[in-house]
Structure 1
Amino acid sequence: MTLETAQSPAQSSWTTAAILIGRLIFAAVFLMAVVFKFADIGATAGYIAAAGFPFPLFLAWCAALLEVVLVLCFLTGAFFSWAALVAAAYVLFLGFAFHGPSHWAANQAEFGFFVDHFTFVAGLLFAAAHGPGRVLALRLGSMS
């Protein structure tokens, strides 16, 4: 018997709501990021250049496009687990690249920003393992 079949109707309702709310939160976080990028792609490129990466404008556009795809996957449930894994890797990369140990000496708040990325990664990994839920989810690219 799986956990899904062992749930009471009340448990099923709240877990369905929790999954949908979680998907909306993931989508909202990446949507905010992409809106800021589109609002001033030059500023994003400057931030990328300041971190020492080559081709900052190209990378800014790549990040924006990735974030649009992630938003669509989180909202629709299509390729959900794959998108959550890609998002986890992306967020982990961002944590190290822009808030990692080399930034802590200059600003102690950077350590907090760094740690926050790991809590987000944990949620994304959990979501990847459990999928988009049964409601309002396209079953394209399912890992199971």
Structure 2
Amino acid sequence: MSPQIVQSPWQTAALLVARLIFAAVFLMAVTFKFMGMEATAGYIAAAGFPFPLFLAWCAAILEVALVLCFLSGAFFTQAALVAAAYVLFLAFAFHGPSHWAGNQAEFGFFVDHFSFLAGLLFAAVHGPGRILALNLGWPGRA
């Protein structure tokens, strides 16, 4: 049996705001995909991936699942780890070193992914909190 963890009101608020930010980022991404799935597929094809429309739909489905997990707290740790892997993949696949020579802003986009990755890893360790969270997932996690 794990000890009861008491969170101060500001910690509870910070966890909820963080969850909302994670959900909002992925909600914006999936909204753009749904508004222009062909454009997303074109971007994926330009990066050299096969089956771009299929991959665009897979990305959209994953992002919807991540939004639901971050909002509900269900499978939160697993979702945060999957999101971290996804963000790392996106950084290298779409903004990695091969893109820097043609556009220096790509390096900034690449680096930005790592601050988001750090937040996701931190969230995976600390969980969704106790308020407004289903807390489904690995046993023993709060």
- For Structure 1 versus Structure 2, the TM-score category normalised by the shorter chain is over 0.9
Give the aligned residue type for 2:62. Answer: L
Q: Deviations over 1:55-78 (max 9, x none)?
A: 000000000000000000000000
Gaps of 5+ in 1: none
Structure-2 residue corresponding to 1:87: 83
Structure with more helix by fraction: 1
Q: Tell me which residue corresponds to 1:52.
A: 48
1:43 equivalent to 2:39? Answer yes
Residue-pair matches, total = 138
Query: For the residues of structure 2 that align with 1:3 and 1:116, how far apart are their CA atoms?
Result: 36
CA distance in 2, matches of 1:68, 1:60: 12
Aligned twin of 1:116: 112
Q: What is the aligned partner in structure 1 of residue 102 from structure 2?
A: 106
Q: Does 1:134 align with 2:130?
A: yes
Q: Which residue number corresponds to residue 29 of structure 1? A: 25
TM-score, normalised to structure 2's length? Answer: 0.94
Q: Indicate the larger mover: 96-105 or 134-143.
A: 134-143
RMSD (CA atoms):
1.3
2:127 maps to amino acid: G
The answer on whether the counterparts of 1:80 and 1:142 sit within 8 Å (CA) in structure 2 is no
TM-score after normalising by structure 1 = 0.93
Amino acid aligned to 1:35: T
Distance 1:102 1:3, change over 3 A: farther
* Structure 2 unmatched ranges of 5 or more: none
**Which whole-Å CA distance do the structure 2 matches of 1:140 and 1:89 have between them?**
20
